[in-house]
């Protein structure tokens, strides 16, 4: 039994079934018992290892991609370097390391971070202290400057709602109680949501469609900012162009577990529906690109070979395995996808196609 299970059950008993998004929000970010607020979530000790924690090459190449875009847009002398959901701060640290000799880049960059967990903010502060990062509450609060943004495994951690298509229309899947245990049921009255209209022609009775309203709102704000001020955003996540069905996943100590079994102890995520994420943005977006393809285009093989020259024995084996893990289609190469947002007056960043 977890500390959160009785709290959630009490809430449901008092106010009725809750949306899946409310369950996710509580499990991930409850101030005392939330997953991101209590666990050593990343790295070899945590439940999952993210790309920047696998190898420095990930952050280096994406950092150089952002820096190239900054150069292509005339090297603005003041700009925002933003990361959404920076975790341990490793990705931003690698970006800053890779760009340290680029004239004018560090001098012009104001580092902004969007992070909900106070515990992770503290880790980020420690790691990035020399660069004096600032934590933003939302994208809309950022100063009016060009924005160069990176987000890895951020949107998949945001709460989603699920809707099931029935003859009567869309019915939301809610978490209630049955014999004292969590139980997923459907709202009896159909819900009309314009955000689901475009799916009606393609779904069949019983199909589930997910909605990441919070993620879409953040993408919209980013799109406005990039179109008005310049810059770009590189968004990398677990997902696809249009997702269908229940993609919720709970991971506890490196194993997949039942979604409702360990509230607050398991990492919860859902595949990102990139089509929904980038629909109706003010700026342009690139094609969706598999992570492995993007990293190859950005030169990961040459970088891996250069780094390999300094390594031997176990360190070399680990380095080769990390390269494969990031790029191979059977590992992270295809499961993770990347998309770039950029102003409609410019072209897609290096490694992306239009």
Binding site for ligand SAH (CB under 6 A): 36, 42, 50, 52-53, 85-87, 91, 114-117, 120, 152-154, 157-158
CB nearer ligand SAH, residue 34 or residue 343: 34
* Distance in angstroms (rounded) separating the CA atoms of residues 201 and 120: 42
CB nearer ligand SAH, residue 17 or residue 87: 87
CB nearer ligand SAH, residue 34 or residue 223: 34
CB nearer ligand SAH, residue 152 or residue 216: 152
For the CB of residue 86, give the shortest distance to ligand SAH in the complex, in Å. Answer: 6
CB nearer ligand SAH, residue 59 or residue 349: 59
For the CB of residue 117, give the shortest distance to ligand SAH in the complex, in Å. Answer: 4
For the CB of residue 115, give the shortest distance to ligand SAH in the complex, in Å. Answer: 5
For the CB of residue 343, give the shortest distance to ligand SAH in the complex, in Å. Answer: 24
212: phi then psi, degrees, rounded to nearest 5: -105, 80
- Are the C-beta atoms of 46 and 31 separated by less than 8 Å? no
Q: How many CA atoms lie within 13 A of 36 on its CB side?
A: 23
Helix H or strand E segment including 38: helix 35-38
For the CB of residue 29, give the shortest distance to ligand SAH in the complex, in Å. Answer: 6
Closest of 177, 284, 189, 271 to residue 230, by C-alpha: 284
For the CB of residue 245, give the shortest distance to ligand SAH in the complex, in Å. Answer: 23
* Distance in angstroms (rounded) separating the CA atoms of residues 24 and 161: 9
Which own/partner pairs from 211-215 qualify as long-range (CB within 8 Å, at least 24 positions apart)? 211/160, 211/161, 211/162, 211/163, 211/276, 212/155, 212/158, 212/159, 212/160, 212/270, 212/272, 212/273, 212/276, 212/277, 213/21, 213/161, 214/21, 214/158, 214/159, 215/155, 215/158, 215/272, 215/277
CB nearer ligand SAH, residue 85 or residue 333: 85
For the CB of residue 211, give the shortest distance to ligand SAH in the complex, in Å. Answer: 15
**CB neighbours of 141 closer than 8 A, spacing ≥ 6?**
none
* Distance in angstroms (rounded) separating the CA atoms of residues 305 and 263: 43
CB nearer ligand SAH, residue 278 or residue 332: 332
CB nearer ligand SAH, residue 75 or residue 121: 121
- Are the C-beta atoms of 76 and 107 separated by less than 8 Å? no
Closest of 43, 56, 93, 67 to residue 326, by C-alpha: 56
Q: How many CA atoms lie within 13 A of 105 on its CB side?
A: 22
**CB neighbours of 14 closer than 8 A, spacing ≥ 6?**
none
How many CB atoms are located within 10 Å of the residue 33 CB? 18
For the CB of residue 159, give the shortest distance to ligand SAH in the complex, in Å. Answer: 8
Torsion angle defined by CA atoms of residues 102, 106, 107 and 111, in that order, rounded to the nearest 10 degrees = 160
CB nearer ligand SAH, residue 91 or residue 288: 91
For the CB of residue 276, give the shortest distance to ligand SAH in the complex, in Å. Answer: 17
CB nearer ligand SAH, residue 157 or residue 340: 157
Q: In the complex, which residue's CB is closest to ligand SAH?
A: 85
Kindly state the tokens that stand for 10: 């009490």
Residue 219, helix vs strand vs coil: helix
For the CB of residue 41, give the shortest distance to ligand SAH in the complex, in Å. Answer: 7
């Amino acid at each position: 039994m977890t500390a959160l299970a009785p709290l959630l059950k009490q809430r449901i008993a008092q106010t009725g079934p809750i949306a899946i998004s409310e369950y996710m929000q509580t499990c991930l970010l409850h101030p005392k018992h939330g997953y991101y607020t209590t666990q050593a979530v990343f790295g070899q000790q945590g439940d999952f290892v993210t790309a920047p924690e696998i190898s420095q090459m990930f952050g280096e190449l994406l950092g150089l991609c952002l820096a190239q875009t900054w150069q292509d847009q005339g090297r603005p002398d003041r700009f925002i370097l933003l990361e959404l959901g920076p975790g341990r701060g490793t990705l931003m640290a690698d970006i800053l390391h890779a760009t340290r000799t680029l004239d004018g880049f560090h001098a012009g960059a104001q580092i902004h971070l969007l992070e909900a967990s106070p515990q992770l903010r503290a880790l980020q502060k420690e790691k990035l202290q020399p660069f004096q990062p600032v934590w933003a509450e939302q994208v809309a609060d950022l100063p009016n400057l060009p924005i160069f943004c990176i987000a890895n495994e951020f949107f998949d951690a945001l709460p989603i709602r699920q809707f099931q298509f029935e003859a009567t229309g869309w019915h939301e899947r809610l978490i209630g109680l049955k014999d004292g245990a969590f139980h997923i049921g459907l709202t009896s009255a159909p819900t009309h949501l314009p955000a689901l209209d475009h799916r009606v022609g393609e779904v069949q009775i019983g199909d589930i469609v997910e909605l990441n309203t919070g993620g879409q709102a953040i993408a919209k704000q980013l799109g406005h900012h990039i179109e008005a001020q310049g810059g770009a955003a590189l968004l990398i996540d677990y997902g696809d162009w249009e997702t269908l069905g229940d993609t919720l996943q709970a991971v506890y100590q490196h194993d997949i577990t039942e979604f409702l079994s360990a509230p607050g102890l398991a990492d919860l995520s859902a595949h990102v529906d990139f089509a929904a994420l980038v629909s109706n943005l003010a700026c342009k977006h690139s094609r969706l690109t598999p992570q492995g393809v993007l990293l190859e285009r950005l030169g990961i093989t040459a970088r891996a070979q250069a780094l390999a020259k300094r390594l031997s024995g176990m360190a070399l084996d680990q380095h080769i395995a990390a390269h494969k893990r990031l790029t191979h289609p059977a590992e992270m190469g295809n499961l993770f996808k990347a998309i770039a947002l950029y102003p409609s007056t410019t072209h897609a960043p290096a490694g992306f196609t239009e």
